[in-house]
Amino acid sequence: MKPFENALRQLNIAAQAINLNSDILKRLSVPDKIITANLPIKKDDGTLQIYEAYRVQYNNARGPYKGGIRFHPQVDIDEVKALSFWMTIKCAVVGIPMGGGKGGVTVDVKTTSDSELEKISRAWVGAFKDLIGPDKDVPAPDVYTNPQTMAWMADEYSKLVGAKKLGVVTGKPLDMGGSQGRGAATAKGGMFVLADLVAKRSWDPKNMSVAVQGLGNVGGGMAKFLFDEGYKVVAVADSKSIIYKEDGLNIDEVLSRKENKQTLNDLPGVKEISLTEFFALPVDVLVPAALENQITLENADSIKAKVILEMGNGPTTPEADKILFAKKVEVIPDVLANAGGVTVSYFEWLQNNEDKYWSEDEVNAKLKEIMIDAWQKTFDIAQEKNVDYRTAAFILAIGRLAEAMSK
């Protein structure tokens, strides 16, 4: 199940629903550029290691390429192509004037020192400096990269071009031109959409159970927001353990343990379960906030959730989408659900360019307005065309992309 194949199948399903012009479809089916580089890095022990690095610039019809850089041992071109495509769709869904890109380095951060990571980050910018820039391509953090990574990158780019250019990347620390509210933006955007759907269905959050897969910045943030809003979070999964507690977990305790690198499976009253059992739990909301291909032909039929809120990228395969739609499971797709991060990245870019900075309340108010507008348009298209929310979101995005590409 290659992510890029799945992405193109999602594109084709939406294209058929609106009889998309074949030339536009062909152009949207391939990235503008795929750039690779080898980064020679002297490790702390004096040995030389070569790291593979990537940047895929997918489409810039609506504005500069935009998308994260992930540091992960399994990063490859197919995955980066898919992620850059989804970023193109995501920016168009929420209506921000940016295109889609994605980057990566094949590296295991868990066995790499901070000084080595700094060298890799700066070398990445050195390799791609002529292709990135505030008006060309604006990277951001992704899996295993963070504000510190972006600080190194912004500093390196500014040195190389001989001028302070903070807007070259987003997701920076506040003291380097970062935006208020950026850290929680992806999770907060997802919460705005979920809250609206819950209100539309006249459900009561305090009577709803949730399972969250992934406890990183996004999954952990979602679990905390849900817990604070009164949802009963009965199960969480991370890379080390999957735990379940029927009467609900104390998410503050879970996240505290996670932060202190303590195990979760010895929390009082919890039961350790398998990933198969996790996806089959009788919960109201399932939140996949991990890697691609989590919900597939093999496990889609066992899902009992009413709502799947996709906070990770590409968690559901096209075969699974068909099964879930037939089961009337409401899948809020990644290209909408997790678009809060790129939306606030866009805000950061705007603030850097104008050298004016907004309060967290202003950021959150603007984020809510954009997320709810995109969600309402997606919801309306889904009702009108009797399609799932993913296809509806793609129809919304493709319409905007086609208009920009036709100019």
pLDDT tens-digit map of 104-145: 999 999 999 999 999 999 999 999 999 999 999 999 998 899
CATH of 179-407, one of 3.40.367.20, 1.10.1300.10, 3.10.20.90, 3.40.50.720: 3.40.50.720
Sign of CA dihedral 274, 279, 283, 289: positive
Distances (CA, A) of 384 to 259, 324, 391: 45, 19, 12
pLDDT digits (tens, 9 = 90+) for 185-232: 999 999 999 999 999 999 999 999 999 999 998 999 999 999 999 999
Query: Can 110 be counted among the known catalytic residues?
Result: no
Distances (CA, A) of 107 to 240, 295, 359, 395: 20, 26, 36, 36
Q: For residue 147, what is the enclosing H or E element?
A: helix 147-161
Q: What is the C-alpha separation between 249 and 269, in angstroms, rounded?
A: 9
Catalytic residue of the set 66, 81, 102, 165? 102
CATH 1.10.150.120 fits 33-173, yes or no: no
Residue spans of the domains in the chain: they are 33-173, 179-407
The residues near 81 (Cβ < 8 Å, ≥ 6 apart) are 3, 4, 7, 31, 34, 56, 58, 102
pLDDT digits (tens, 9 = 90+) for 310-360: 999 999 999 999 999 999 999 999 999 999 999 999 999 999 999 999 999
Same fold yes or no, 33-173 and 179-407: yes
